[in-house]
């Protein structure tokens, strides 16, 4: 019987143990996807080759894909780094989100991690988030800025790691 019913007996429900660290990492990946989608959406094709501050945006995006591939390889215990030669802008965007989805799908299985969650976050995931900021800054320098928004209220959820992201909940007013 359930708590509060006549008879006084309680029903116990066993809930599988949720790995909170893994779920937080998955939320971080969803945050990365959301912010990357905002930094990439509406970028003109010529932005990929903008040469205003060191690496080209297409090179940064290729590196971000490499970071996610590296994350997965470390997580499954076969750590390897591979530097990819950048392809076209659209192809690199697709590759980035595919690498993100593959890594998140592995995390969602609950399979054993061969690398600590903290290291996966502090290294490749945090690095990729930094590069999203670089892309957003480069958009402004290239004359095609993104619209800011309140990310605290954004519709971000673990597992939502594709290029199609929810619309901004609270975008900032254009200046």
Which domains are delineated in the chain? 20-153 (1.20.120.450)
User: pTM of the full predicted structure?
Assistant: 0.88
Neighbour tally for 95: CB within 10 Å: 20
The tens digit of pLDDT for each residue in 91-140 reads 999 999 999 999 999 999 999 999 999 999 999 999 999 999 999 999 99
Do residues 44 and 144 touch, judged by C-beta distance below 8 A?
Answer: yes
- Residue 112 tokens, joined: 């054993």
Question: For residue 86, which of 57, 124, 127, 108 has the smallest C-alpha distance?
Answer: 57
- Beta-bridge partner residues of 171: 149
Q: Identify the weakest region by mean pLDDT among 33-37, 46-50, 52-56, 128-132.
A: 52-56
């Amino acid at each position: 019987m359930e708590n509060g019913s006549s008879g006084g007996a309680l029903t116990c429900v066993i809930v599988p143990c949720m790995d909170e660290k893994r779920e937080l990492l998955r939320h971080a990946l969803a945050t990365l996807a959301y912010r990357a989608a905002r930094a990439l959406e509406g970028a003109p094709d010529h932005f990929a080759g903008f040469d205003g501050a060191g690496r080209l945006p297409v090179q940064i995006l290729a590196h971000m894909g490499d970071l996610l591939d590296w994350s997965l390889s470390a997580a499954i215990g076969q750590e390897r780094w591979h530097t990819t030669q950048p392809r076209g802008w659209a192809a690199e965007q697709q590759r980035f989100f595919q690498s993100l989805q593959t890594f998140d799908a592995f995390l969602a299985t609950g399979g054993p991690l061969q690398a600590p969650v903290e290291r996966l976050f502090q290294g490749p995931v945090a690095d990729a988030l930094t590069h999203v900021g670089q892309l957003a800054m480069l958009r402004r320098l290239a004359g095609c800025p993104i619209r800011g928004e309140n990310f605290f209220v954004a519709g971000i959820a673990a597992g939502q790691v594709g290029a199609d992201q929810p619309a901004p909940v609270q975008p900032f007013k254009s200046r």
